[in-house]
Amino acid sequence: MQHLRLMLAVAVLSVVAGVPGSSLVGIWSNVEVSKGEDPHASGIEVEIWRDKGLMFGFFSEYVGPVADPPVGKLDSIHFDEKTGAISFTSRLSVGVVPAAQGNAWVPSRNLYEFKGVVGKDGMVGTLRRKSVQVEGTELAYDENVTLKTKAAAGDLPPNESFDDWTKRWNEALKKRGPKW
């Protein structure tokens, strides 16, 4: 289990990057890309890593453009390797919403809570999507999701070292991470 504040994610990942033994637990995705001259993508992707018994990772939701989806750090990761039971939360900002006053727009506050099971072919479970309103109220709905295994334990994306991976995710959090 690992509980990190977003503001500490960059520092922690920088430290972890230099430690031998960090390994990929898996990448799961249900992202679909449309065909045509102006392709769009929709779906979610989860990437989880382990280092010295601690787990950390990222949650991305594709909501239009094929590249650079909104991303959030996984929090409260609980994973039982014997049963495959898994749960986590993540905060994202997937768009903008009207501000409480005036004609301004502010980043959305989206909270995701997942409970499910990891198997050899993928991750299946219930994703609760919460939209936290400016005044603090929440709108929520549950969705059953199936994420196919994109990469298995021990794999790294082709031609990418763990240091490169860390740099990539640090930049992603700065640019596309939650704004709340």
DSSP structure string for 91-151: EE--SEEE-SSTT-EEE--EEEEEEEEE-SSEEEEEEEEEEE-TTS-EEEEEEEEEEEEEE
Residue 29 belongs to some domain of the structure: yes
Task: Give residue 11's pLDDT band: very low, low, confident or very high (50, 70, 90).
Answer: very low
Distance set, CA 171 to CA 51, 77, 82, 114 (Å) = 20, 22, 34, 25
What CATH number does the domain containing 89 carry?
A: 2.40.128.30
pTM of the model: 0.80
- Count: domains in the chain: 1
Residue 114 belongs to some domain of the structure: yes
Residue 162 belongs to some domain of the structure: yes
Residue 135 belongs to some domain of the structure: yes
The residue segments making up the domain with residue 111 are 6-176
Residue 137 belongs to some domain of the structure: yes
Residue 25 belongs to some domain of the structure: yes
Residue 154: its pLDDT value, please? 56
Digit-coded pLDDT (tens) for 128-151: 999 988 777 889 999 999 999 997
Residue 1 belongs to some domain of the structure: no
Residue 102: its pLDDT value, please? 79
Tokens of 3: 């509980």
